Amino acid sequence: MHRKFGILVGAFSLALISGSAQAAVCSNNGAGFDTFKRDFAREAQAAGIGQRGLAALASTEYSPGVIKYDRSVSRSFKHADTNFASFYAKKTKGLLGPTRSRLKQNARLLGNIENQYGVPKEILVTIWGMETGFGGYTGKYDIVTSLASLTHDCRRSGFFKPNLMAALQIIDKGWIDRGQMRGARHGEIGQTQFMAKNYVKFGIDYDGDGRRDLIGSVPDVLASTANYLRSYGWKPGQPYGPGTRNFGVLKEWNASSAYQQAIAKFAASL
């Protein structure tokens, strides 16, 4: 960072957290976004977020496109759940060969993770492939901007607020650089698309480099995904088809019943 730019960002961050403390207020449009950022910065500072995280918040702008997408996305979920065959064919098209290749290429890593966390390697590579094509495309949207816009929007502010706070924490801890914090429009991060709150809660530094890197480290990605599923009650050696306990855990991964079924069906085919 150039020194002059750093001084300007630091000054703006200090301006955000000055004044009397109050909770950030949501809105149904972009009005008051700067005030929202100022108030949220106070909350973030009180929660222990330091200068890097505050500067990340200060750099955001309201995104109407993200809000428009969020308000329309529920319709696409409903369509997928009532047209499973079409959804499954589209989601798994061309996936079988690459998935089997990843199973072979990462056999030792996947075996170690399965032994430690109890989640089958077939489930892990299926999620990895379906979410981002094994990290081929993790999203182009600025995560902090997306989460700040969604938290400012009153529709689902309560869901996105802890994820915005967690995204600032990820940056503040140096797990991911600010410039690398790009993902899906709802703020999903990395090769298996973790929400920031889950990143902080379930992320694992499996390669031992001191960072929980779910964007660039395959060991961290797969171990964190397994840790997430185990933490929600995955039972080793048990079936995972519809109606089973483990299938219920897949509901914690994705709210779409079509997506849950697709994971189970494709993993079983491996």
pLDDT at residue 78, as a whole number: 55
Please name the helix (run of DSSP H) or strand (run of DSSP E) that holds residue 141, with its range, or none: strand 141-142
pTM of the model: 0.86
Lowest-confidence region among 70-79, 86-95, 141-150, 191-200: 70-79
pLDDT at residue 79, as a whole number: 54
Closest CA to 228 of 251, 245, 211: 251
Sign (positive/negative) of CA torsion 67, 55, 50, 189? Answer: positive
CB proximity list for 151: less than 8 A, separation 6 or greater: 24, 26, 36, 40, 157, 160, 161, 163, 164
Average pLDDT score over residue span 200-220: 97
164 and 196 in contact (C-beta within 8 Å)? yes
SS3 state of residue 142: strand
Write down the CATH number for the domain with range 67-139+198-269. Answer: 1.10.530.10
Check whether 137 has a pLDDT greater than 70: yes
Instruction: Report the alpha-carbon distance of residue 244 to residue 258 in Å, rounded.
Output: 16
What are the backbone dihedrals phi and psi of residue 182, each rounded to the nearest 5 degrees, phi first? Answer: -125, 140
Average pLDDT score over residue span 116-131: 98
CB proximity list for 159: less than 8 A, separation 6 or greater: none
Average pLDDT score over residue span 87-111: 97
Instruction: Report the alpha-carbon distance of residue 97 to residue 100 in Å, rounded.
Output: 5
255-265 pLDDT, tens digit each:
899 999 999 99
Check whether 8 has a pLDDT greater than 70: no
Instruction: Report the alpha-carbon distance of residue 189 to residue 173 in Å, rounded.
Output: 16
SS3 state of residue 209: coil
67 and 245 in contact (C-beta within 8 Å)? no
CB atoms within 10 A of CB 112: 15
